[in-house]
Amino acid sequence: MTFADFQQSLSELSRVPVYSIREDASLRDDLGIDSLQMVNLIVRLTEQFGVDIGQISDMGAIHTVGSMYCFLAGRR
């Protein structure tokens, strides 16, 4: 999965404009994603990109777009 693919999917699922989805953007503060939306996004993105959700050991460490991408891409 490329970052551009991830950006597009995150934009569609969260209804946040793709131009706002930068690696350093805070999911909560910059994009307005709350904890329930976060869980839903992670579940849907892991399904979409074929990632085993069990591989994500510390979802609490996901605060930015970049950290979410790294976890989903397996680059913790």
Question: What's the CATH code, domain 3-73?
Answer: 1.10.1200.10
Domain ranges for the chain = 3-73
Half-sphere exposure of 58 (CA within 13 A, CB side): 6
What would the pLDDT profile of 24-53 be if each residue is shown by its tens digit? 999 999 999 988 888 888 888 888 888 777
User: Mean of the per-residue pLDDT values for the chain?
Assistant: 86
What is the spatial distance between Cα 21 and Cα 11, in angstroms, rounded to a whole number?
A: 7
